[in-house]
Structure formats: structure tokens, C-alpha cells
Amino acid sequence: MATVRRFFVEKAEGETSLTGDEFSHAVNVLRLREGDEVVLLDGSGVEYDAVVRRVGRHELVCGVVGSRPSDKEPRTRVRLLVGALKGDKTELVVQKATELGVAEIGVFTSRYSSAYMNENKVQRLRKVAREAAKQCLRATVPTVEYYPDLAAALASCGAFPNKLFACEFAQKSDADLRALCGACTLAVGSEGGFSEEEFALARAAGFAGVTLGRRILRAETAAIAFTAVAMFALGELG
């Protein structure tokens, strides 16, 4: 069965146009034509069934014919903070975290991280999140923000009932991952790891240190495994 193509739009209503990247993808890559069925997503958690009405030079006009709440979105809000990683590793983490159901992603620079971030890279990460969200049938795209230091990333988390800091040198966990319940922020370091001072800063900001076991995981493994374990404990992967 051919899957119905999914597109994110600003707002889905009556007649809705695909423009920009979504237009090019729909017309040049997927070769959508008048009469084809699509699903439009406006990030509100609702899926809109629509039919292609017209294909113009710069826009593809769809008519919305129905809608339903998505059953794919997690019930629990999970925010992932991850140190900026080298090469395309941050993209990998954004892609996997999106599939696993995170709502928000914060990328930060910390004392021992050497990867460089700029606005273009953040835009690229947002695109990766959008594509991953479509592929795994989500109805919302996780937000992606960049914080130039760990303090700003930690401060961005506000009132989460659970704030967990994966610390490679923590001997034991200060929180029980198995008993996790309610919204969570998960923080994971970059390849260089965290310093003692950064761990102290996180604790002062209300984070509980957790260990992910006796082996040192690569940063991307840690970010993906930590997210998966938390989602499982929250009942989102069962």
C-alpha cells in the first residue's frame, strides 16, 4: 500500500498551499498531481486529510476534506539537552530523538565540547527533525534550540518535575529511572563529557545525576539510549 504523503504547513484549513521546500519535495521528488491524497500537519497534533486541487509553478493547493487527532504523539513531554557533537552526530541524535518522541531538543556548547554550531547548522537540525517526524508519522515536529553554554541550556528547562543529568563519572543514580513519571528533561554531554563544575551547576539547577551503567558510552549512544530508556519507563514505547 502506498503511504499517503505527509506535509507540515503553517495552518491547515479549507484550501491550504504547500510552498518552499515542501512544495519542491511534493512536486519535483514525489511528483504529486491533481487528485492525489495527502496528509497535512500543522503541528497542533491534528492530522488533516486533503486532496491536491491544483499544482502551480510555486505552490501546490490542497483541499482539506477531513481531520482527526493524531494517535502517534507521546502523552508525556520529554526535552532532550545534548552537547553539540562533531560531524553529523548531532543530526543523528536529533533524528533518533524525534522518532523516540521527544518534544523539544536543546543543543549546547559546554566546557569540553569542540563541535562548532551556527545558525545554518541549527536550521539544518530543524529540517532533520521535520523529516524524521514525517517519516515516523508524528503530527508535531520537536523544537530545536541552541544554547551557547550549559548554564543557559539548564536555565531553559524551567519547571519540569524530572530533570536528569547523565553523568559519566556518577557512581550511582540520584533518581530511579524505572519509576519515572511525568514530564522530563534529559541532559547528555558531548564527546568530551562533563566537568565536575558542570555537574555541580546542574545539581544546583535541580538536576539529578544518573549513571547509564559501568561502561562509557559514546555521546550519541548515550543520548539515544537515555531517551529510549526514559520513554520506555514513561510507557511511551510499550
Provide the binding-site residues for ligand SAH, judged by CB under 6 A: 166-168, 188-189, 192-194, 211-213, 215-217, 219, 222
Nearer Cβ to ligand SAH, position 30 or 216?
A: 216
For residue 177, the minimal CB distance to ligand SAH (Å) is 11
**Which residue number is nearest to ligand SAH in terms of Cβ?**
189
- DSSP category for residue 207: P
Q: Nearer Cβ to ligand SAH, position 48 or 165?
A: 165
Axis crossing angle, helix 219-233 with helix 89-100, rounded to the nearest 10: 10
Side-chain-side CA neighbours of 68 within 13 Å: the count stands at: 5
Closest separation in Å from C-beta 5 to ligand SAH: 36
Amino acid at 223: A
CB atoms near residue 111 (< 10 Å) = 15
> Nearest CA to 230 among 174, 172, 176?
176
Q: Which is nearer to ligand SAH, 40 or 115 (CB)?
A: 115
Shortest reach from residue 82's CB to ligand SAH, in Å = 9
Q: How far is CA 95 from CA 112, 127, 236, in A?
A: 23, 10, 17
3-state secondary structure 44-103: CCEEEEEEEEEECCCCEEEEEEEEEECCCCCCCCEEEEEECCCCCHHHHHHHHHHHHCCC
Distance of closest approach, residue 217 Cβ to ligand SAH, in angstroms: 4
Q: Shortest approach of ligand SAH to residue 44 CB, angstroms?
A: 33
> Quick one: 52 or 188, whose CB is closer to ligand SAH?
188
Cβ nearer to ligand SAH, comparing 129 with 229: 229
Name beta bridge partners: 238: none
